[in-house]
Structure 1
Amino acid sequence: MTLLRLFMFNFSFLTFLHPGIECENGSVSRLLTAQTGGSLIIPCYYNRKYTDHKKYWCFDAGSAYNYCSILAYANETKGKVSVIDHPDQSFFTVTMRNLQYEDTGTYWCVVEIGGIFQLDEKEQLHLTVQSAPDVSVVSSSVSGHEGGDISVQCFYSSGYKDKLKQWCRYEDQSCYTVGRTNTSQNSSVQISDDGRRSFTVPMTGLRLTDSGWYFCSVGDLQAPVQLNVSGKTQSLIRSSQCFLLDH
């Protein structure tokens, strides 16, 4: 936390289909949990018209809206925080490493619009660092190939056994619910809950357009997951290379 500055915020980032808590000023906050000593990757989407604007990640432990300490700008690493912009996909990712209890608090994805007294575009998030996260995934990155299948397992604590469980996509705000089979313009998704501590999300008939950021949702809590789908040609090339190496 190196720089302290005054912000006036404009709450016009994406509102997700399954929101988190309602804040005093009517904004929506994503609620995330992470394990002590672990890492977390967070996607922050923005309007395509802001491709050339500065982006950054900031923090205030007391959830104050007027002041925020910038942890890192896009395409730089400071301490245990890295921010990478993906302008071709209109989002930037924030990676936080070696998380500790004191990292619990309120954060903001921010796009700088103008000078210090001009409105910035921002989205608020709240992170809770726990020894045993209430919601988690084995890996925040999953890979598959076109036409193939993937499966993501989402874990939750006993206190969330009866909460609504969903698999949602950040970009288009679509959510899939436990117990329903959803076949969209992309792949087929069916979520099954074991009723104890996890639910599974199989995605079949993957398409290239399925690539992107998703999240396991249990109650108000979310766990981000990035899905990368490669083309059939790339998969065949990799298979051929493996065959040649084995022989």
Structure 2
Amino acid sequence: MIYQMVLILSGILLHITGEAGTEKINIGVKSGSAGIIPCHYDKIHEENHKYWCKGSAWISCEILTYANKTGKYSLTDYPNQNIFTVQWENLQTSDSGYYWCAVEIGDYNVLDAGYYLYLTVQSVPDVSVVSSSVSGHEGGDISVQCLYSSGYKDKPKQWCRFKDKGCYTVGKTDTSQNSSVQIRENDGRRSFTVLMTGLRLNDSGWYFCTVGDLQVPVQLTITKPKREFITIPAATPSDSETDIEETNLSLTVNSEIHSKDEQNKSDVILVLVTTLTLLMLVIIVAIVWRLKKKPERGQIREKEHFNSTRNASSASVDDCSVIYSSVITFHKAPSSSLNSEAEVIYSAVKQISKASE
């Protein structure tokens, strides 16, 4: 019994606290379409469970989903931003009502942290935006177009930052964050345009396009520009951050130039090596060819020499002289008895040339 009374008392206190401490948030939602809204919490609750609860009173609030659990709604926690988002795919007009962005603090004796808001689901919303997610580059600009029905024509129009509740009205320019915010009415088109220029990285976050008592969330994401789109303003002695960016850009450019020079040198060396290799191949082929032809020429010359020698031999034989020999026998008187029977034979040789014949 005491437990139930504590729960009832806790719910009443939280409901009263939510009404008194939080400005009423009335989110316009188009039926049948996907949607997403942010829920903010204190940094000390980063590790606590977050949940999405439906009901006008805390005691009768129905918990629809916790973080990291799926259902009709899905929650995603961003501890570094102290925000969790609630996303849905298909809401109907019957889903209009009070909802709670809540964080568990402890057991039933401790009040949970949270605040409530109202979802207005309409087939044709009184307030809407062309795009609920917009992105831009640091130093650039973005524009958001907010639409409203004829019944909200005379209602005040604002562009509000969700985190700090800072709002900008039509025609107002603000440079407190080094970015300019301008809101311009589009006469006759039931819309107004929000233009943000000179964007900074800390401009990222959630904003509300507000008309009267209706708000539509818009997520803005700012990123660093790509290298080729970097434009560095003129540096001054007090622009330390600009000096750092300029130095980094200079180092990057020098590195790219050095890389290109190295690449060009590598290409030249490759061409030279290829040319020398081809030249060596040509020389080797020429040498091999010459060596192959040399034996053939030697054989021809040897053959020619043999034929020449043979012809010369034939000519020598044909041109040689004919030798005639005549033999004359002389008889000598015997001088003694020992050689009485011997005869002496004398021979005369006469060479007669063939040509003389």
Task: Compute the TM-score of the two structures, normalised by the length of structure 2.
Answer: 0.58
Q: Alpha-carbon deviation of 1:27?
A: 4.7
Cα pair 1:186 1:209 within 8 Å, conserved: no
Q: Does 1:189 align with 2:181?
A: yes
User: Partner of 1:129 in structure 2?
Assistant: 121
Structure 1 position 233, deviation (Å): 4.0
Deviation at 1:67, TM superposition (A): 1.4
1:86-165 mapped onto 2 (5 Å cutoff): 86-165=78-157
Q: Which residue of the partner structure matches residue 170 of structure 1?
A: 162
* Deviation of 1:36 (Å): 1.2
**Are the counterparts in 2 of residues 150 and 203 from structure 1 also a CA contact under 8 Å?**
yes
Gap regions ≥5 residues in structure 2: 1-6, 231-357
Aligned match of 2:76? 84
1:73, 1:12 → 2: CA distance?
23
2-structure distance, mates of 1:171, 1:83: 18
1:107-127 per-residue CA deviation (whole Å, 9 max, x = no partner) reads 000011111342011111101
| Equivalences, count | 221
Q: Distance in 2 between matches of 1:180 and 1:214?
A: 16
Which amino acid in the other structure matches residue 113 of structure 1?
I
Q: Return closer, same or farther for 1:67/1:176 CA change in 2, 3 Å cut-off.
A: same
| Structure 2 CA distance for aligned equivalents of residues 148 and 27 of structure 1 | 34
* Cα RMSD after superposing both structures: 2.3
CA contact (8 A) 1:154 1:198 kept: yes
Q: Using the alignment, how far apart are the partners of 2:15 and 2:78 within structure 1? A: 21
Aligned partners of 2:227 and 2:131: how far apart in 1? 23
SS in 2 for 1:66: helix
Q: 1:166 to 1:112 in 2, by over 3 A?
A: same
| Mapping 1:22-101, distance limit 5 Å | 23=19, 27-60=22-55, 63-78=56-71, 80-101=72-93
1:33-85 deviations in Å (ceiling 9; x for gaps) = 1111012211001110110111100112xx2332111111112211x211000
Q: Which residue of structure 2 aligns with residue 220 of structure 1? A: 213
Q: Unpaired runs of 5+ in structure 1?
A: 16-22, 238-247
Is the Cα contact below 8 Å between 1:155 and 1:198 reproduced in 2? Answer: yes
The structure with the largest alpha-carbon Rg is 2
Displacement of 1:96 after TM fit?
Answer: 1.7
